[in-house]
Amino acid sequence: MNISAFYSNGKLLISGEYLVLDGALAMAVPTKFGQRLDVSLHDDFSGIRWEAYVLNKGWLHVSFGSRLFNIIHTNDQKMALHLKKILKKAFEQGNITVDNQKGILIRTNLDFDRNWGLGSSSTLLSNIGYWLDVDPFSLSRQTSNGSGFDVAAARSDSPIFYQLVGGEPKVSSIEFQPEFKDQLYFVHLNSKKNSEESIKAYKKKVKSNQKDVEEISSLSRIIADAKNLIDFEKAMVEHENILSKVLGIDRIKKQFFSDFQGEIKSLGAWGGDFVMATYKGPESNLRNYFQSKGKSTILRFDDMVL
């Protein structure tokens, strides 16, 4: 067990959403926003005290007893139970016991709004993995239904290709600093989607095929390697059209931004969190457009991507 401070990066899934679960090649970027976890030992209590902060403001506290992670006190029972599940799995994986140890104080701090969807869970799993020297991908599989790309991004300082091969993660670092990055923006829809529920719905209702998986994999490579905005936008639109067909949902631009003079691509769970927008005109015009639609959180490429 490490006694120190740990940090993991947030993420955005640029391509491959949903179909990454079926083996498609996905592209993700780590963000300049993430989560810190601090661990210290204390003699004046036993068990684990967990204090979680968002932007340095407290939102969750849990006191666990020294045996079996029994919850002594919390301000959010549902979140405390989820945290208990993660900790039990992590301690079991690392063959670690908390009995008869000094009290452990954990403080976490997200440096982004939880509603942004940049990976409050994945950064936590990554940091717990650092703390306890356990495999965060295994921990993710045991406690969530995602592909694990977010954990990979949490531990990368560069954009990545991510693919499940035989159920195991294959991760490779890539370059993604397009010459047209000043024409790329990330716009928050302010309509948070639950990733776990979105994935459940996808697995229950959607039937993808190998052709879709292969086409999305090809588009991930095109998006990553595009040398100009025209090729990048073509790949964005084709990607959106394939996912629209697979999911049975109109693409986000058609639903809400049909008069926008650029292209828009969903990132991650469709209909929530951030979208990526391209725009050739003045930034002020783009901001005015989205603000008129009630979308005020708009970040430039270099403000978001690590």
The answer to whether residues 205 and 112 belong to one domain is no
Q: For the segment 10-24, what is each residue's pLDDT rounded down to a tens digit?
A: 999 999 999 999 999
Enter the tokens of residue 191.
């309509």
User: Among 173, 205, 235, which residue terminates a domain?
Assistant: 173
Share above pLDDT 90 across residues of the chain, in percent, rounded to a whole number: 80
**Mean pLDDT of the 231-237 span:** 98
Q: For the segment 205-224, what is each residue's pLDDT rounded down to a tens digit?
A: 666 689 999 999 999 999 99
The answer to whether residues 138 and 45 belong to one domain is yes
Query: Can you give the pLDDT at residue 201?
Result: 59
The answer to whether residues 129 and 193 belong to one domain is no
The answer to whether residues 116 and 206 belong to one domain is no
Query: Can you give the pLDDT at residue 194?
Result: 54
Enter the tokens of residue 185.
């923006």
Query: Can you give the pLDDT at residue 256?
Result: 93
**Mean pLDDT of the 258-287 span:** 93
Decide: 35 and 120 in contact? Cβ < 8 Å: yes
Q: What is the rounded CA–CA span in Å between residue 228 and residue 252?
A: 23
- Domain extent for 14: 5-173
pTM of the model: 0.91
Q: What is the rounded CA–CA span in Å between residue 7 and residue 45?
A: 26
User: Among 173, 208, 225, which residue terminates a domain?
Assistant: 173
The amino acid at 257: F
**Mean pLDDT of the 138-160 span:** 94
What DSSP state is assigned to residue 184? E
What domain count does the chain have?
2
Q: For the segment 27-84, what is each residue's pLDDT rounded down to a tens digit?
A: 999 999 999 999 999 888 888 999 999 999 999 999 998 767 899 999 999 999 999 9
What residues does 58 pair with on adjacent strands? 53
The answer to whether residues 200 and 239 belong to one domain is yes
Sequence-ordered strand ranges (E) for the chain: 5-15, 26-42, 48-54, 57-64, 71-74, 103-110, 160-165, 168-173, 184-188, 264-266, 274-278, 298-300
